[in-house]
Amino acid sequence: MSFGSIMRFVVGSLSIELAPLTKESMAEFVNPGMQQFEVRKYTSSHNAPVLEDEISYFDKLRGDKSTLVWGIWLIEGDKRTLIGISSLDDIKIGHIHQATSGSIIFRKEYWGKGIASAAHKARTWYAFQHMGLYRIMSAVIQGNGGSLKALSRSGYTKVYTERNEKFIDGKLRHLDCLECLNPNEPFWTQWWHGDRPTKVNLAAQTATLEILAWAEQNVELP
């Protein structure tokens, strides 16, 4: 696994490509990337990485069979700019196929433009349509409204809250744990196996079906 297949879509007037990282692009993680506190604020990292750290991260990814990572690239003619990453981590292929998702856009000028939401939708479509996952899990530290909004728009619902999980801006923050379930058959029925989904679950199923329909029309797999 390690790196995901290329996916292309448009957000407003911006052409976005989810594609493998390159070792040369690791410098963009550093500056103007993960060295900015505001970018790292809601992650578990307190250290500002240097180029050697990101190259080590790249080398580690190449051999990680339980992770699928995409760089989020802005395409402007022949120019490609790395603005973030999206991933499926801890992929488990067993009686129930599932993974944990994560993403970050480290160029702040592209926050709030809908790119993260579109990337979540494309990744969810790939996970359900082409990998046969039953569930994708994620988590958001309370206060990180942008990430929570992007996930909520992508079919995720809150399952439970881990209290006092992180210390940010002088106070303890809770961690909201979310999941997105494959809305298609036979995955949906097999997941519930006789239990009755709640109204919230059924609404999430409808929302996720709409997301998959959007991706079928708007995401290109070259």
Residue-by-residue pLDDT tens, the chain, 222 positions:
689 999 999 999 999 999 999 999 988 888 778 888 777 877 767 778 888 988 998 998 888 989 999 999 999 999 999 999 999 999 999 889 999 999 999 999 999 999 999 999 999 999 999 999 999 999 999 999 888 888 888 889 999 999 999 898 889 999 999 999 999 999 999 999 989 999 999 999 999 999 999 999 999 999
Q: What pLDDT is stored for residue 43 in this prediction?
A: 78
How distant, in Å, are the alpha carbons of 24, 47, 48, 49 from that of 37? 23, 9, 8, 11
Would you call the peptide bond into 197 cis, given omega within 30 degrees of 0 as the criterion?
Answer: no
Number of structural domains, the chain? 1
Is 140 in contact with 176 (CB distance < 8 Å)? yes
DSSP letters spanning 53-76: HHHHHHHHHHT-TT-EEEEEEEEE
Q: What pLDDT is stored for residue 35 in this prediction?
A: 80
Q: What pLDDT is stored for residue 47 in this prediction?
A: 77
Give residue 98's domain range. 2-218
Is 99 in contact with 92 (CB distance < 8 Å)? yes
Residue 145's CATH number: 3.40.630.30
pTM of the predicted model, to two decimals? 0.92
Q: What pLDDT is stored for residue 1 in this prediction?
A: 60
Cα three-residue angle 182-157-200, rounded to 5 degrees: 90
